[in-house]
């Protein structure tokens, strides 16, 4: 026993004489934080982030402090340059870290703002190791994948545990067990569990149960082979979650149990569900939360009173899912519409708003590449409101401007996000202010009327020539405007940004004289961040991405306003500005997020 207690001290010995190497943060106490590792087999896209966040939520509800982290195998330093077609949405944290969309799932499910400490890529890990090697931190040792790279991974996890003071750290490894780039991550997890000692860790394997239509039965062999790969890496899973279109049969679960040495009750079925927000209840129903608490020996840390209160609140939320008596259709106009993950946060924000208002929000995907004045009315037929989301580049830009013009002239509720804000300025400048050549220098670098541009003085403001505004920023809100009402009549709110083009200050006065209201701006800077049209039922745009901070129990006010306005569009007898009162009512119930 004494030998076991001294294990962590011995493995942290950094010298040329010892083969033990595992750097440990100063003040780290073994046993305070427990670790849950979530890995995938068979194929990617099984929902590891969803499963991990839902399980983390159940443990959080018990009064435990949880800290999630996503480990990605790619060599990019962050997700900022990844194509949405290939990798889905780039999610931006408050500190400006551009990361994987799974971080958005964690933030929404846990109602917790995360940071760069909750995301790591192979690029980050290798860069850190190489920097330390150049500084002589390895005392002349030959730097290797094991123990130095794996040691860096373990150090990052332990640092997160210390910084967050977490009871449980949830580690999700991207991709699958068989991916070459994940091999050192998996080895690091094995080492960490060994070093932390008994009852310190819980390994969860997500797998997929095939069900070929031609056979008419479920097949588990692919799942068995995937689990075998994990066991060959020296890891014995404690829990196996079987993903499938329908519930995994007892026969399949029995086969997997026998094959993997995992007790039958810990081989659980996770079939597809209409909403990810129903999954915590599925996990709770099979007792997975208490099984994890038992495996980690943290039953004494559970606060049952906290759990009853938190779960009752979540049940009230779940009761509203699928119980709507009416629906609206919101059109999302963009160029990544063939890949739904490209707009994951927007989809979730609409769902949150719909549930809060008792309305089922249906989405119509509209590719703007070939939209013109002649066919736009047909494309927007039967939609009750539209969103022009963020994006970069020129493709589809004119189609978006055409959609905005139609929405403005036909009183169709409109919400512009980032690029959608910029396109709204261009449309208004062209068709209301008479600036026929108005454009963005992103689209037309040499345009004669650049109402949207990168400004030299703004580059100075951002510092050192940087021109990408990233992460959380404060916005000054103009009193007595719709934005002021929507956002709780606050003088300042905080939102998240990811853009580099702004409204050129030379055109602000001309735009405002024509009726456009800039109701939000950067403090002490000529950077416009929210716009609206007072004469329109709901015409709102922001340079920010309010969808990034929308939460299930506290939806984004701007999205609630859009859905409320879309509901009123279906009933012409309702007053045009009643959507603001609707949002205020939801606000007063304590449901709307901080923005």
22-68 per-position pLDDT tens digit: 889 999 999 999 999 999 999 888 899 999 999 999 999 999 999 99
141-172 per-position pLDDT tens digit: 889 999 999 999 999 999 999 999 999 999 99
> In this structure, what CATH number is given to the domain that contains residue 164?
3.40.50.300
What pLDDT is stored for residue 229 in this prediction? Answer: 94
16 assigned to some structural domain? no
Residue position matching structure tokens 């929507």? 486
Same domain, 216 and 81: yes
What are the structure tokens assigned to 45, written together?
């896209």
334-345 per-position pLDDT tens digit: 766 556 678 899
Listed residue (120, 101, 78) closest to 470, CA to CA: 78
**Does residue 499 contact residue 375 with C-beta atoms inside 8 Å?**
no
Please give the mean pLDDT across all residues of the chain: 90
**Domain residue limits at 408:** 324-588
Cα torsion 330, 332, 333, 337 to 10°: value is: -140
Same domain, 68 and 158: yes
What is the number of domains present in the chain?
2
431 assigned to some structural domain? yes
Phi, psi of 591 (to 5 degrees): -100, -20
Q: How many CB atoms lie within 10 A of CB 163?
A: 13
Same domain, 47 and 196: yes
Same domain, 399 and 435: yes
Same domain, 303 and 392: no
383 assigned to some structural domain? yes
Q: How many CB atoms lie within 10 A of CB 17?
A: 7
Same domain, 303 and 366: no
Q: How far is it, in rounded angstroms, from Cα 591 to Cα 526?
A: 32
312-364 per-position pLDDT tens digit: 999 999 999 988 889 999 999 976 655 667 889 999 999 999 999 999 999 99
Same domain, 60 and 35: yes
Cα within 13 Å of Cα(526), Cβ side: 16
317, 351, 384: which is the final residue of a domain? 317
What are the structure tokens assigned to 208, written together?
């997929």
pLDDT at 573 > cutoff 90: no
Written as one string, the DSSP assignment of 340-399 is GGGGHHHHHHHHHHHHHHTEEEEEEEEE-TT--TTTHHHHTTT-SEEEE----SSTTHHH
358 assigned to some structural domain? yes
11 assigned to some structural domain? no
317, 336, 371: which is the final residue of a domain? 317
> In this structure, what CATH number is given to the domain that contains residue 578?
3.40.50.880
Same domain, 333 and 280: no
What pLDDT is stored for residue 14 in this prediction? Answer: 59
Same domain, 391 and 373: yes
Same domain, 265 and 191: yes
**Does residue 417 contact residue 542 with C-beta atoms inside 8 Å?**
yes
Percent of the chain with pLDDT over 90: 77
507-556 per-position pLDDT tens digit: 999 999 999 999 999 998 889 999 999 999 999 999 999 999 999 999 99
3 assigned to some structural domain? no
317, 335, 367: which is the final residue of a domain? 317
* Higher-confidence position of 476 and 571: 476
Same domain, 227 and 151: yes
Same domain, 159 and 135: yes
15 assigned to some structural domain? no
Q: Which residues contact 495 (CB under 8 A, 6 or more apart)?
A: 472, 473, 475, 529, 542, 544, 545, 546, 549, 595
| Strand, helix or coil for residue 113 | coil
Query: N- to C-terminal Cα distance for the chain?
Result: 51
Size of the chain in residues: 595
């Amino acid at each position: 026993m004494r030998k076991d207690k001294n294990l962590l001290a011995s493995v942290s010995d950094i010298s040329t004489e010892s083969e033990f190497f595992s750097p440990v943060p100063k003040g780290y106490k073994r046993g305070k934080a427990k670790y849950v590792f979530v890995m995938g087999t068979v194929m990617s896209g099984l929902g590891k982030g969803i499963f991990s966040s839902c399980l983390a939520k159940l443990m959080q509800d018990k009064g435990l402090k949880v800290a999630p982290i996503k480990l990605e195998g790619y060599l990019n330093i962050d997700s900022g340059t990844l194509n949405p077609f290939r990798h889905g949405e780039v999610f931006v944290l408050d500190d400006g870290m551009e990361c994987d969309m799974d971080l958005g799932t964690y933030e929404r499910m846990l109602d917790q703002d995360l940071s760069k400490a909750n995301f790591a890529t192979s690029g980050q890990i290798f860069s850190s190791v190489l920097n330390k090697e150049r500084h002589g931190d390895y005392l002349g040792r030959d730097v290797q994948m094991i123990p130095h790279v794996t040691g860096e991974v373990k150090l990052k996890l332990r640092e997160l545990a210390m910084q967050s003071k977490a009871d449980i750290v949830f580690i999700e490894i991207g991709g699958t067990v068989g991916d070459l780039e994940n091999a050192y991550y998996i080895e690091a997890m094995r080492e960490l569990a060994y070093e932390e000692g008994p009852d310190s860790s819980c390994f969860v394997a997500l797998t997929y149960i095939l069900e070929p239509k031609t056979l008419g039965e479920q097949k588990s062999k692919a799942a068995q082979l995937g689990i075998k790969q994990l066991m060959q890496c020296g890891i014995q899973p404690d829990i196996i979650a079987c993903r499938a279109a329908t519930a995994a049969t007892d026969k399949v679960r029995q086969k997997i149990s026998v094959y993997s040495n995992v007790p039958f009750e810990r081989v659980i079925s996770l079939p597809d569900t209409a909403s990810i927000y129903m999954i915590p209840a599925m996990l709770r129903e099979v007792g997975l939360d208490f099984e994890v608490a038992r495996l980690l020996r943290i039953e004494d840390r559970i606060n049952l009173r906290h759990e009853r209160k938190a779960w009752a609140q979540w049940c009230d939320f779940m009761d509203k899912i699928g119980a709507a008596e009416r629906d609206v259709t919101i059109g999302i106009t963009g160029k990544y519409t063939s890949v739904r993950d490209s707009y994951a946060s927007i989809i979730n924000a609409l769902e949150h708003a719909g549930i809060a208002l008792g309305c089922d929000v249906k989405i119509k995907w509209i590719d703007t590449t070939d939209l013109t004045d002649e066919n736009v009315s047909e494309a927007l037929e039967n939609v009750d409101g539209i969103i022009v989301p963020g994006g970069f580049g020129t493709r589809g830009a004119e189609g978006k401007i055409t959609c905005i013009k139609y929405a403005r002239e036909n009183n169709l509720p409109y919400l512009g996000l980032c690029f959608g804000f910029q396109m709204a300025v261009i449309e208004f400048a062209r068709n209301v202010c008479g600036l026929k050549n108005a454009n963005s220098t992103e689209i037309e670098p040499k345009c004669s009327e650049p109402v949207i541009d990168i400004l030299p003085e703004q580059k100075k403001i951002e510092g050192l020539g940087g021109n990408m505004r990233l992460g959380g920023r404060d916005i000054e809100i103009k009193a007595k405007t719709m934005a002021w009402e929507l956002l709780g009549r606050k003088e300042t709110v905080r939102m998240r940004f990811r853009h580099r083009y702004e409204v050129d200050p030379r055109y602000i006065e001309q735009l405002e004289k024509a009726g456009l209201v800039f109701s939000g701006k950067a403090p002490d800077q000529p950077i416009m961040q929210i716009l609206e049209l007072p004469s329109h039922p709901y015409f709102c745009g922001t340079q920010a991405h309010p969808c990034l901070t929308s939460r299930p129990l506290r939806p984004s006010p701007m999205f609630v306003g859009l859905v409320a306005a879309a509901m009123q569009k279906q009933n012409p007898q309702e007053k045009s500005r009643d959507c603001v009162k609707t949002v205020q009512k939801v606000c007063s119930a304590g449901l709307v997020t901080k923005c």
